[in-house]
Amino acid sequence: MKRTNELIVALAVLAAIVVVVWGVFAVGDNMPRGVTPYSQDVYQLHNTILGIVTVIGVLVFTAMFTSIVVHRKSKGYKPASFSHSTQAEIIWTAIPILILVVMAVPATRVLIDMEQTGGAEMNIQITGYQWLWKYDYLEDEISFFSALDRASNRARQIGSGINPRDVENYLLEVDNPLVVPVNTRIRFLLTADDVIHSWWVPDLGWKRDAIPGMVNEAWTYIEEEGIYRGQCAELCGKDHGFMPIVVEAVSREAYDAWVADQRRGMAEAAHESARLWTRAELMDHGANVYQAQCAACHQPDGSGLEPAFPALARDGRPTGELTSHLEVVLNGREGTAMTAFGGRLQPEDIAAALTYTRNAWSEDEGEVVQPSTIAELNQVELNQG
Amino acid sequence: MSQDTTAHHDDHHDAHHPTGLARWLFSTNHKEIGTMYLVFSLAMFLVGGAMALIIRAELFAPGLQLVNPEFFNQMTTMHALVMIFGAVMPAFVGLANWMVPLMIGAPDMALPRMNNWSFWILPFAFTLLLATLFMPSGGPSSGWTLYPPLSLQGGNSLAFVILAIHLMGISSIMGAINIIATILNMRAPGMTLLRMPLFVWTWLITAFLLIAVMPVLAGAVTMLLTDRFFGTSFFNAAGGGDPVLYQHIFWFFGHPEVYILILPAFGIVSEIIPTFSRKQLFGYTSMVYATASIAFLSFIVWAHHMFTVGMPLGAMLFFMYATMVIAVPTGVKIFNWVATMWRGSMTFETPMLFALGFVVLFTIGGLSGLMLAIVPANFQYHDTYFVVAHFHYVLVTGAVFAIMAAVYYWLPKWTGHMYNEKLGKIHFWWSTIWVNVLFFPQHYLGLAGMPRRIPDYAVQFAEFNMISTIGGFMYGFGQLLFVYIIWQCVRGGEKATAQVWEGARGLEWTVPSPAPLHTFDTPPLVDDSVAVHKDTLA
């Protein structure tokens, strides 16, 4: 009798813990409802399925615990001798099949809805890189990179001494968000440059892999203005956890104004590539480019992480000659994480980053690379290619 | 009567038996090899667990405190490889080695020398694998799935990892051949296939799965090897290859692999529940058919691991429906276990507690698996902590709980002593409570949007991660109690009877405890009175 009591107490304690834990969590976190017709369908579907499996679980566990409490030797319960019942087995094969059909019908409907193609009002190409995103607006001819913002990037270094709670939207903020108009049917074309990434904003209701050499398709139609945040969802190397996505859904007017603004910026940028830069300008801009594009692997002080990520400076001078350095930056190095920056960054970015790299940790005054040089090299590359 | 002859043979063999290291190095005895497998598995369980604790420690609070992201990725990768190939699979092979001959009345495994070899490959394989952590380029860091192109970016350690996987594969295939040969050829007279204990049945089916899919994995990783070192382009789009092809091949291995990790657990639980319910297993025949159906279905559902790669609608529907169908035979098993308990006369010794914990918690993992099959919802769940929670419910509270149940169940037979029942119960309750604190919050993390395999996270995920880490450390250190209980039981304790458990049935309980080195030199005669299972209508 005493042992029975112990067991019942233990069970009660466990049940209480489960109920409390369940209650605390259930108040807070379920899947987000999202802001597209599709994300809301998925949310409904998730809740339906969760409801069904919870009921199944409760029924099975009730039967089991009834048996555990009643059919026990300590209560003198004598075992029955049956070990088979065709009827029962037919019932508990048939009923689950019916339940599965009930689940499959809405699942199929939502999936077919989601795979409806056609009627795109605008197209955006998303390209995944280690470890940032590039967005190309195909109609509006706007193109930019989107990477983790600097505040998060500083805070996330080991021993940064910065409390992540003091950083607004820690790890979920970017330098350039993806701006899109609301109430517009948008087609995303996803691909990647190096390894597989996966583009996921929970409020849009799906994630889709960005795979090098393939183009995937996905759709959205955002109904509410707002800022929606997500992350890369496919392991893509060491900074997989540090390539967030921010979607800013704005009104049609605000979007048009933003497009005009971006166009002006691009015209200025074209001018920038052609002119002659001073050393100070290059160093200044280079520091920014270096921290955004290179520091993740080669480290903020250029010391690298041998052997995967070589040091860029050693004993107060750059490692390697400028010509080979230039070649690697423009064309990348196959079989490593070093990608070709030639087609990826503006000539002045590359020139500035190179100038910065060859001077920042050097005792002597190092070489200066002009944007025009890079532009010419790119041109030669294009003619040959 | 037969026991007298057994004892006589023991004396005879012992005279020639080597001692010390040679006894273990050259052993061809199924019991000794089984013991080595189990000890090896326990060691790997602790190594893999230490890696898990490093992961959980880093995730205790937002921000990076302990390890850099590269090392974090090496830990997630190695934790999975060590736990799957080093802890769970060898544990099941060890149990098969010990118990299959005892359960079918065979004197040993059919191919004893190969048995020795298939075990002794493993320490070399894992030395290779673990050594990569100390190489300049570090261990593998692309996840245990080794998806290209990411896995091809690593250093030369990839070659060591692939060689280690080849060795593990060879070991598994030889083990599987041995088990099939033993079961099909060496059953005692009267031990028909449908009189075999369910543990033997599930292992027979698992062994066929192993033989079918381990070569597929070998092919996949060999293609990685040539892509990385010999300039081929199987998975390199720039060279005309296809990165998604790897995922299809990998998961054609990977999905049957998950059932390799769970079918023997079904078998174990199907032995333990009847014993402590003092009642026949309900629906024996349907259990066998359910196991076979699950094994068959496991070959046609692989793409449900990769719904987000971009597949045609028809393919997604097919893989969704096929996956959902698995719920039917799995449900049959769970209902049969509950029906076995129903109107039984239950007692709750530690093996039974772990088996009951298995039924409840595996069911939770199975139900979240059913949720994951729903493609539109999968687009949200995929690659989040919801998936992490799901597969840890089926692998830790599923496979690992079943292995622990089996160890407590058969330990008296192996050592001749009863383990400390009080400590065993504490181990069960401690593990069950903390493993839920560890993994249950991860469902919520996933639904709230936390991707898996990230070393740092946004602050809204902080509370659940902290709870999960506390659960992880409590559960993890609690397992040292398990090691202590085993050690104590090996050293001594109350003498175990041959029968050990009041309700135990089957040939393994007819030999003395501890089971002598050589058993069933003269095959026993099996009829319905000795068989574990016979159908009685309700």
Instruction: Quote ipTM for the complex.
Output: 0.91
How close is the nearest chain A Cα to the Cα of B339, in Å? 8
User: How much is the pLDDT for A288?
Assistant: 86
Q: What is the pLDDT of residues B288-310, one digit of tens each?
A: 999 999 999 999 999 999 999 99
Return all residues near A147 (Cβ < 8 A) that are at least 6 apart. Answer: A131, A132, A133, A174, A175, A176, A243, A292
Q: Does B528 touch chain A (CB under 8 A)?
A: no
User: How much is the pLDDT for A281?
Assistant: 87
Task: Place A345 in a pLDDT band, splitting at 50, 70 and 90.
Answer: confident
Q: Which residue has the higher pLDDT, B129 or A294?
A: B129
- What is the separation, in whole angstroms, between the first and last Cα of chain A? 86
User: How much is the pLDDT for A17?
Assistant: 62
Q: What is the pLDDT of residues A64-93, one digit of tens each?
A: 988 888 888 888 888 888 888 889 999 999
Task: Place B445 in a pLDDT band, splitting at 50, 70 and 90.
Answer: very high
Mutate to test the interface with B, among A240, A245, A339 (most CBs of B within 10 A): A240
Q: What is the pLDDT of residues B129-182, one digit of tens each?
A: 999 999 988 899 999 999 999 999 878 899 999 999 999 999 999 999 999 999
Chain B hits for A305, Cβ within 8 Å:
70
pTM (2 d.p.): 0.89
Work out the average pLDDT over B334-355. Answer: 95
Task: Place B249 in a pLDDT band, splitting at 50, 70 and 90.
Answer: very high
Return all residues near A142 (Cβ < 8 A) that are at least 6 apart. Answer: A135, A136, A259, A262, A263, A266
Residue with token string 């183009």: A215
Q: Does B13 touch chain A (CB under 8 A)?
A: no
Task: Place B7 in a pLDDT band, splitting at 50, 70 and 90.
Answer: very low
CB environment B466-477: b (16+ within 10 A), e (fewer) = ebbbebbbbbbe
Work out the average pLDDT over B25-53. Answer: 96
Question: Do A72 and B346 make contact, defined as CB atoms within 8 angstroms?
Answer: yes
Return all residues near A111 (Cβ < 8 A) that are at least 6 apart. Answer: B313, B316, B317, B320, B375, B376
Read off the tokens for B284. Answer: 């024996």
DSSP state of B310: -
Instruction: Find, in chain B, the residue whose alpha carbon is nearest to that of A90.
Output: B332
DSSP H or E segment with residue A145: strand A142-146
Q: Which of B149, B327, B451 sits opposite A195 (nearest CB)?
A: B149
Q: Round the average pLDDT of chain B to a whole number and report it.
A: 93
What Rg value do the Cα atoms of chain B yield, rounded?
23
Least confident range of A179-188, A213-222, A297-306 = A297-306
Q: Which of A266-280, B8-22, B178-192 has the largest mean confidence?
A: B178-192
> Contact B145/B217 with Cβ under 8 angstroms?
no
Residue B12: pLDDT over 60: no
**Number of Cβ pairs < 8 A linking chain A and chain B:** 325
Question: Do A208 and B459 make contact, defined as CB atoms within 8 angstroms?
Answer: no
User: How much is the pLDDT for A2?
Assistant: 52
Q: Which residue has the higher pLDDT, A269 or A59?
A: A59
Closest by alpha carbon to A7, among B432, B276, B353?
A: B353
Chain B hits for A100, Cβ within 8 Å:
324-325, 327-328
CB atoms < 10 A from the CB of A270, how many?
9
Residue with token string 């060879």: B170
Distance separating alpha carbons of residues A329 and A339, to the nearest angstrom: 8
Read off the tokens for B114. Answer: 């190969």
Q: Which of B64, B343, B453 sits opposite A80 (nearest CB)?
A: B343
Q: What is the pLDDT of residues B81-127, one digit of tens each?
A: 999 999 999 999 999 999 999 999 999 999 999 999 999 999 999 99
> Contact B243/B234 with Cβ under 8 angstroms?
no
Return all residues near B301 (Cβ < 8 A) that are at least 6 apart. Answer: B255, B319, B322, B323, B326
Read off the tokens for A262. Answer: 């971006």
Return all residues near B331 (Cβ < 8 A) that are at least 6 apart. Answer: A92, A93, A96
- What is the separation, in whole angstroms, between the first and last Cα of chain B? 36
Q: Round the average pLDDT of chain A to a whole number and report it.
A: 86
Question: Do A211 and B244 make contact, defined as CB atoms within 8 angstroms?
Answer: yes
Cβ burial of B1 (10 Å; 0-12, 13-18, 19+) is exposed
Residue B2: pLDDT over 70: no
Whole-Å CA distances, A348 to A52, A123, A354, A361, B294: 58, 28, 10, 20, 60
Task: Place A158 in a pLDDT band, splitting at 50, 70 and 90.
Answer: confident
Return all residues near A267 (Cβ < 8 A) that are at least 6 apart. Answer: none
Return all residues near A325 (Cβ < 8 A) that are at least 6 apart. Answer: A318, A354, A357, A358
Chain B hits for A339, Cβ within 8 Å:
none
Q: Does B466 touch chain A (CB under 8 A)?
A: no
Distance separating alpha carbons of residues B71 and B140, to the nearest angstrom: 9
User: How much is the pLDDT for A10?
Assistant: 65
CB atoms < 10 A from the CB of A323, how many?
8
Instruction: Find, in chain A, the residue whose alpha carbon is nearest to that of B320.
Output: A104
Question: Do A80 and B364 make contact, defined as CB atoms within 8 angstroms?
Answer: no
> Contact B393/B365 with Cβ under 8 angstroms?
yes
| Cα torsion through B167, B168, B174, B176, rounded to 10 | -160
Residue A382: pLDDT over 80: no
Work out the average pLDDT over A147-174. Answer: 92
What are residue B451's DSSP bridge partners?
B384
Whole-Å CA distances, B50 to B36, B46, B139, B267, B431: 21, 6, 16, 29, 16
Residue with token string 């000539």: A347
DSSP H or E segment with residue A317: strand A317-318
Q: What is the pLDDT of residues A251-263, one digit of tens each?
A: 999 999 999 999 8
3-state SS track over A35-95 = CCHHHHHHHHHHHHHHHHHHHHHHHHHHHHHHHHHHCEHHHCCCCCCCCECHHHHHHHHHH
3-state SS track over B185-223 = HCCCCCCCHHHCCHHHHHHHHHHHHHHHHHHHHHHHHHH
User: How much is the pLDDT for B8?
Assistant: 46
Chain B hits for A162, Cβ within 8 Å:
63
Work out the average pLDDT over A240-258. Answer: 96
Q: Which residue has the higher pLDDT, A336 or B232?
A: B232
Task: Place B510 in a pLDDT band, splitting at 50, 70 and 90.
Answer: very high
Sequence letter at residue A19 = V
Task: Place A292 in a pLDDT band, splitting at 50, 70 and 90.
Answer: confident
Closest by alpha carbon to A233, among B385, B249, B462?
A: B385
User: How much is the pLDDT for A9?
Assistant: 63
Distance separating alpha carbons of residues B133 and B82, to the nearest angstrom: 13
Return all residues near B189 (Cβ < 8 A) that are at least 6 apart. Answer: B523, B525, B526
What are residue A226's DSSP bridge partners?
A249
Task: Place A311 in a pLDDT band, splitting at 50, 70 and 90.
Answer: confident
Return all residues near A47 (Cβ < 8 A) that are at least 6 apart. Answer: A30
Read off the tokens for A279. Answer: 């050393």
> Contact B393/B364 with Cβ under 8 angstroms?
yes
Work out the average pLDDT over B414-421. Answer: 96
Distance separating alpha carbons of residues B77 and A344, to the nearest angstrom: 31
Whole-Å CA distances, B202 to B93, B104, B108, B169, B290: 12, 14, 19, 20, 10
